[in-house]
Amino acid sequence: SIRFFESSNLTVRGVKMMNSPQFHFRFDSCSSVHIDTISITSPALSPNTDGIHVENTQSVGIYNSMIGA
């Protein structure tokens, strides 16, 4: 998984992630986050496998993405 902390003006684009044991992406205390064309998959019965976890973060946009099991 990938964690961004106290970052601003982020762009995450064209990333494919699979089977993370916890969060796939975590944004903590960030601002101006643009997520585009990502793919996140995990097994259907996996506990605590948040696709995108947003905490204390402002101005987040998610576009053209697939997040699912």
> Is-above-0.85 flag for pTM?
yes
Provide CB contacts within 8 A for 2, sequence distance 6+: 17, 24, 25, 26
Mean pLDDT of 6-33: 94
Mean pLDDT of 32-37: 98
Mean pLDDT of 14-40: 94
Does 69 have pLDDT greater than 70? no
List the structure tokens of 2: 């990938």
pLDDT at 4: 98
List the structure tokens of 43: 């097994």
pLDDT at 22: 81
Residue 5 CA neighbour count, 13 Å, CB half: 1
Can you point out the beta strands (E) in 1-69? 2-5, 8-13, 16-18, 25-28, 31-36, 39-41, 52-55, 58-63, 66-68
- 2-19 pLDDT per residue, tens: 999 999 999 999 999 998
